[in-house]
Structure 1
């Protein structure tokens, strides 16, 4: 059965990686997946194509889609004639609902929401408008999938139909994200620092909700006590070319201790190289980067937003959002544990991911849902 996935874009991010992870494990003897990316070619296009899954790129401008890009979407959907359409992220969900209308035959549509809503004010104007529009359209999809309990609550409060809700958490590839001494040494060599240098990392794109400012203020606080620690940031727009980010780094005098790696394709190795992983976000749904770090055996310090505390359990530290002092204090606690106790904590973190958030179990949940929806639809189409 042909499954059409429509996603906002395929740059490297948590939501995009979860789609790739799903596609890497989905039963291609039972399902025939195809992907439409609304944006330009991204880092994950090639990765998905390497799975022998076709990827169509629309090159659509999110603010004002051109008639050409809309017609390309219409043409591809009609040519593919899918049995089921799965939207992924807000723009992808809206496009999926449109695709369900223009498809040659009636086809069920699923939405997949990968984001929690701390405040619509923190979203771009165009995205906020789509979020509101989707609330009005939320009676139309067969199901609305969320990856976190918190995200479900936020969207239902905004008017998304509760009877459509289904929660499927993120899953993690524990073979890909695994402890690695080689990765630890390799990253330190790349950064030009000694093998014994302590590294704290924040993995994630540059966005207001990620609150890099709080992370960097906490960094300045910690360096007052531990002057030889280094910090690694990686993700989209995480570079010296980002003036807003660079200004904060210079204001706090952190240039010599902060390493900005940008968007990378070797995130499993970078993550495994850390001594502590962190999330400083003031809004999250189900942060992939935390589960990935735990899978690598890296203890985590996270803010108490979304499902972060649930993911970490008792294997790390949870602090209030927008509190750099609390974040720095939690880092200090883990540093002071010593390497052996941190290693034990990291082992417990990896075990928790294996037992509760394995990728295979999550893929099974998607496949079972697709079977249920497709069975009903196939009966109607036959």
Structure 2
């Protein structure tokens, strides 16, 4: 089959998912094209995949007069690809693709994957709902990365909506020696004891990840448990920089929180200021921002507890990786996270810093409970579909759509 993927700006899960699909479907003998921004190609390397043709379409994020030029360019690209299936990922890519397909006399089958929910309020929310409705009703098939997205598409009038997961990349096992070395390096770099309980969050410092809730939870930890030792330096509290542990009470395990991921600088400044204000008023666990990292597997192996505080996630790849790695998990019960984690972790209500603090405190003081949840997570992770399985499922769906069109 001749399949074209359309993707907008991405540095995370959506781009990872589309790259895996392009790679695996191309390896299976299908003709694959990818259309998207140059920066997305630079980040994921679509144009470097064997047998994959990449074409630049600078989709951007806002709706405006420039969209007419995008539609004209995409129309020419789709004609050159002679696609049988056009599979757009996300609202922006879906909107431009649907408008483009309306201009074609003979159009391919249109598949839309939803990876996020619309979250606008007021006038913006009304506009987003109109776009959602148009896309749901205009696509031949809507795929949701979580069941709530499928249900939303059905509510808006989709003729066919199904759940297809975005699978996590294969997780390379990390040896105990490598994990210990990573722990030692982190302790040395950020000034905490190697015996500390490491709480790890992985994800871009952006509004969706709700790190302010994490910080509020840290502020409550002193009230919920006596097992943590939230010592910090006065200088760090005054300047708003990452805090470093200065001492550790005998028999009282320290707790340190690490956040790995690129940052929206405005959001990062706000979270740092929030942390500085709380830590100036009372002793709370140290918090360090690691920035974008290429050693996430090693970080996860070195950590004791994995946390995800997002206001919403469809099927977070980092959460899947934590399951596969066998981590004790504390996550907000939103979107697809509930069905993904099940009883293999501790789920807390969205934006509930009190429940979050209680869950982290419990695990920090109970290694046996951590080990139990880690074992459950590993078993759950072993059941998750891999990237090749998802690609094969999609190939079957594409064949079904093309056959129906021919019939």
TM range (shorter): 0.7 to 0.9
Aligned to 2:235: none
Question: Within 5 A, what are the aligned runs for 1:1-382?
Answer: 1-11=1-11, 13-37=12-36, 39-42=37-40, 45-52=43-50, 53-63=52-62, 64=64, 66=66, 68-103=69-104, 105-117=106-118, 119-121=119-121, 125=124, 129-157=127-155, 159-161=156-158, 163-173=159-169, 175-176=170-171, 178-181=173-176, 182-183=178-179, 185-186=181-182, 189-190=185-186, 191-193=189-191, 194-222=193-221, 225=226, 226=228, 227=230, 228-237=254-263, 242-253=268-279, 257-338=286-367, 341-377=369-405, 379=406
Cα distance between partner residues in 2 of 1:231 and 1:195:
13
Q: Deviations over 1:270-326 (max 9, x none)?
A: 333322111212323222221111111112111111121221122210111111111
Cα distance between partner residues in 1 of 2:48 and 2:195:
37
Counterpart contact for 2:257–2:287, Cα < 8 Å: yes
TM-score w.r.t. length of structure 1: 0.85
CA displacement at 1:93 relative to structure 2: 1.2
Counterpart contact for 1:301–1:319, Cα < 8 Å: yes
Cα distance between partner residues in 2 of 1:106 and 1:28:
25
Kindly report the root-mean-square deviation, in angstroms, between the aligned alpha carbons of the 2 structures.
Answer: 2.9
Q: Which moved more, 1:191-200 or 1:234-243?
A: 234-243
1:143 to 1:155, Cα distance in 2 relative to 1, 3 A = closer
Tell me the matched-pair count. 370
1:320 to 1:241, Cα distance in 2 relative to 1, 3 A = closer
1:273 to 1:92, Cα distance in 2 relative to 1, 3 A = farther
Q: Which moved more, 1:364-373 or 1:351-360?
A: 351-360
CA displacement at 1:108 relative to structure 2: 0.5
Cα distance between partner residues in 1 of 2:287 and 2:42:
27
Cα distance between partner residues in 1 of 2:147 and 2:398:
21
Structure number with bigger Rg: 2
Cα distance between partner residues in 1 of 2:109 and 2:357:
48
Q: Which moved more, 1:28-37 or 1:53-62?
A: 53-62
1:244 to 1:155, Cα distance in 2 relative to 1, 3 A = farther
Q: Deviations over 1:239-294 (max 9, x none)?
A: 58832222222222299822223334443333333221112123232222211111
Q: Deviations over 1:44-75 (max 9, x none)?
A: 64433342233323233322363554443333
Cα distance between partner residues in 1 of 2:351 and 2:173:
30
CA displacement at 1:220 relative to structure 2: 2.4
1:35 to 1:311, Cα distance in 2 relative to 1, 3 A = same
1:242 to 1:355, Cα distance in 2 relative to 1, 3 A = closer
1:21 to 1:184, Cα distance in 2 relative to 1, 3 A = farther
SS in 2 for 1:278: strand
Cα distance between partner residues in 2 of 1:41 and 1:113:
21
Counterpart contact for 1:239–1:262, Cα < 8 Å: no
Q: Any stretches of 5+ residues in structure 1 without a counterpart?
A: none
Counterpart contact for 1:221–1:325, Cα < 8 Å: yes
1:180 to 1:299, Cα distance in 2 relative to 1, 3 A = farther
Counterpart contact for 2:8–2:90, Cα < 8 Å: yes
1:251 to 1:128, Cα distance in 2 relative to 1, 3 A = farther
Counterpart contact for 2:205–2:267, Cα < 8 Å: no
CA displacement at 1:40 relative to structure 2: 4.6
